[in-house]
Copies of this chain bind each other. A is one copy, B any other.
Amino acid sequence: MKVSALGEFGLIDLLAEMISGSQDKSAASYRKLVIGIGDDAAAWKGDTGTQLVTTDSLFQGVHFRLETTPWYELGWKSLAVNLSDIAAMGGVPEYAVVSLAVPPETEVDDVKALYQGMLDLAQRFGVALIGGDTCRAPLVSITVTVLGGAKDKDEKVLTRSAARPGEKIAVTGALGGAAAGMEILDKKLEIDAGSSSQLRKAFLQPEPRVAEGQKLVELGVKAAIDISDGLMSDLKHICDSSRVGARVEADRIPAASAVRAHFAERALELATAGGEDYELLFTASDEVIDKVKAELSCQVMVVGEILAGEPGSIVMVDARGEPVRPGKGGWEHFNA
Chain A residues in contact with chain B, CB under 8 A?
A: 1-6, 8, 11-12, 14-15, 18-19, 22-24, 27-30, 33, 36-37, 39, 41-42, 44, 46-49, 53-57, 59, 61-63, 94-95, 97-99, 101-109, 111-112, 115-116, 119, 122-123, 126-139, 141, 143, 145, 147, 333-336
Contact = CB atoms under 8 A, between A and B. Distances in A.
A22 B97 contact: no
A7 to B, nearest CB: 10
Contact of A29 (B4, B28, B99, B127): B127
Nearest to A59: B137
A122 to B, nearest CB: 8
29 contacts: A1-B109, A2-B106, A2-B107, A3-B105, A3-B111, A4-B104, A4-B136, A6-B108, A11-B134, A15-B115, A15-B134, A18-B116, A19-B129, A29-B94, A29-B95, A29-B127, A33-B128, A36-B131, A48-B48, A53-B97, A53-B130, A53-B131, A53-B147, A55-B97, A55-B145, A57-B143, A62-B137, A137-B139, A138-B139
Given A14-B108, A33-B128, A53-B97, 18 more contacts: A1-B107, A2-B106, A3-B106, A8-B134, A18-B115, A27-B123, A28-B126, A29-B126, A36-B128, A37-B132, A44-B130, A46-B48, A47-B48, A48-B48, A55-B97, A55-B133, A57-B135, A62-B136
Nearest to A56: B133
Nearest to A120: B22
Contacts of A44: 95, 130
A126 B145 CA distance: 21
Contact of A131 (B2, B42, B98, B111): B42
Contacts of A59: 101, 135, 137
Nearest to A132: B55
Given A4-B104, A137-B62, A333-B134, A95 B42 contact: yes
A42 B41 CA distance: 20
Given A2-B108, A143-B57, A62 B135 contact: yes
